[in-house]
Structure 1
Amino acid sequence: MGFYGEVLDKVSDLITAAFGLVAALAWNGAIQALFVQVFGTTENLAAQFTYAIVVTILAVLATIWIARMAARAETEKKE
């Protein structure tokens, strides 16, 4: 792979990361709106920490689920 290929590879990585960031920000807004509907506010410190903890737990669970799905797909591909 030459210089052009390396540049193209890095640009595609950056574009993919940018779309991931946009999706994460969209989810953040949606989750914040849901949190406000359920708990009423996110303006005090306790509410912000609760939000951060809930989002962290969701992120960990989603990461574990995605990793298991990827491992299962990889196992099926080898068979």
Structure 2
Amino acid sequence: MSLKAEVIEKVSALLAAAFGLIAALAWNGAIQELFAQIFGDQSSLVAMFVYAIVVTIIAVIAVILIGRAAGKAKAEDEAAGRR
């Protein structure tokens, strides 16, 4: 892979991560407001832990699914390249 292609690949990955962070921050605010309405205005320690656990579980599941999809796509590309 050429240097130009590597730079473009890395920059695109960084931009995707940046947009992901922006989306995550937007969802964070929305979910915190939802938890505030469910548990009341006073954010208790229990509510904060429930929020953190739920978000972590969702993130882990998403990462696993994305990793599987990426692995499958890579295997398909490699199989197509061998033909």
Q: Please give the secondary structure, in 1, of the residue aligned with 2:43.
A: coil
Q: What stretches of structure 2 of length at least 5 have no aligned partner?
A: none
Query: Structure 1 segments of 4 or more deviating over 2 A?
Result: 11-15, 29-37, 39-42
1:23 Cα offset (Å)? 1.5
Gaps of 5+ in 1: none
Say what the alpha-carbon RMSD is for the aligned residues.
2.6
Which residue pairs with 2:72 in the alignment? 72
TM-score, L = length of structure 2: 0.65
Match for residue 12 of structure 1?
11
Identity of aligned residues (%): 51
Distance 1:47 1:74 in 2: 40
8 A Cα contact 2:35 2:51, kept in partner: yes
Number of corresponding residues:
72
Give the aligned residue type for 1:12: V
